[in-house]
């Protein structure tokens, strides 16, 4: 099986380039992450991020044959050859497939990804009805792998100002939470031409999300909430 893997060493290379590798032993059900580990055994200078190997940690987001995804959840048998693996687009490359995610985390921190409660804290935990808890389904599952945000053209054009689909999905996760009391502040913070309204419903985020989540729907719900608050 033929692979073309993006390689980049900042000390020796001016720009990233693709390097050919060949694997002969492909067991049934082999995921791309396993293949990359075999390639790393061939060529120890190659590096990529990975950890849990089962789509929970979100470390091995990469661009596989032109589409973002998690290497650990992508079976090589479903990929056309040569399998072209690059780092996720729109992020500064540190080395090979490893990118600098600082900008991504900056936007995540900026939406205040924690409950804000103005009332005095109760002595027991904050209660929530099962119905209210259900409203967080499809939101809390995000593993922050960055597949969606780095597939978003709006994020490519304005990475410093547009929050990106991952952060906006999380913004709605806290807006939708019955225990959160900062609805108005959160909405005010997302107004303006850049932070949320750069989204043009391109929906690349929905296509690539390895967890099957829908940031576009979440962004739409934030807009609906804003409208309700205004009226």
Footprint of another protein on this chain (CB under 8 A)?
153-154, 157-158, 184, 187-188, 190-198, 200, 223, 226-227, 229-230
Q: Which is closer to another protein, CB of 23 or CB of 226?
A: 226
Least distance from C-beta 174 to another protein, angstroms? 16
Q: Which is closer to another protein, CB of 10 or CB of 92?
A: 92
Give the dihedral sign, CA 109/68/6/45: positive
Q: Which is closer to another protein, CB of 75 or CB of 153?
A: 153
Residue 25 tokens, joined: 């032993």
CB atoms closer than 10 angstroms to residue 130:
6
- Calpha distance 58→40 (Å, rounded): 20
Q: Which is closer to another protein, CB of 92 or CB of 153?
A: 153
Q: Are the C-beta atoms of 179 and 117 separated by less than 8 Å?
A: yes
Least distance from C-beta 13 to another protein, angstroms? 27
Least distance from C-beta 230 to another protein, angstroms? 4
- Calpha distance 81→95 (Å, rounded): 24
Least distance from C-beta 225 to another protein, angstroms? 8
Least distance from C-beta 157 to another protein, angstroms? 5
Residue 175 tokens, joined: 């807006």
Is 30 strand, coil or helix?
coil
Q: Which is closer to another protein, CB of 46 or CB of 162?
A: 162
Q: Which is closer to another protein, CB of 22 or CB of 229?
A: 229
Least distance from C-beta 196 to another protein, angstroms? 7
Q: Which is closer to another protein, CB of 11 or CB of 160?
A: 160
Which residues fall within 8 angstroms of residue 97, CB to CB, at 6 or more apart? 5, 6, 47, 48, 49, 62, 85, 86, 87
Q: Are the C-beta atoms of 187 and 197 separated by less than 8 Å?
A: no
Least distance from C-beta 90 to another protein, angstroms? 14
Q: Are the C-beta atoms of 112 and 174 separated by less than 8 Å?
A: yes
* Strand boundaries in the chain, DSSP class E: 2-7, 17-22, 61-64, 67-70, 83-86, 93-95, 98-99
């Amino acid at each position: 099986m033929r692979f073309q893997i993006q390689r980049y060493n900042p000390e020796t290379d001016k720009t990233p380039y693709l390097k050919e590798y060949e694997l002969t032993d492909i067991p049934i059900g082999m995921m791309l992450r396993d293949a990359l580990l075999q390639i790393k055994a061939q060529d120890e200078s190659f590096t990529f991020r990975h950890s849990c190997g089962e789509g929970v940690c979100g470390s091995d987001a990469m661009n596989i044959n032109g589409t973002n995804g998690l290497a650990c959840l992508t079976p090589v048998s479903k990929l056309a050859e040569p399998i072209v693996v690059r780092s996720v687009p729109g992020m500064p490359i540190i080395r090979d497939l490893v990118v600098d995610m600082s900008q991504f985390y900056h936007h995540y921190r900026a939406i205040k990804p924690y409950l804000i409660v103005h009332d005095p804290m109760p002595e027991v935990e904050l209660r929530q009805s099962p119905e209210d808890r259900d409203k967080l389904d499809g939101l809390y599952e995000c593993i922050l792998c960055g597949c969606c945000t780095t597939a978003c053209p709006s994020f490519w054009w304005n990475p410093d100002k547009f929050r990106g689909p991952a952060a906006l999905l999380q913004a709605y996760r806290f807006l939708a939470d019955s225990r959160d009391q900062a609805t108005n502040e959160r909405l005010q913070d997302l107004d303006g031409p850049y932070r949320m309204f750069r989204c043009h419903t391109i929906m690349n985020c929905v296509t690539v999300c390895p967890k099957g989540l829908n940031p576009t729907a979440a962004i739409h719900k934030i807009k609906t909430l804003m409208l309700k608050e205004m009226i």
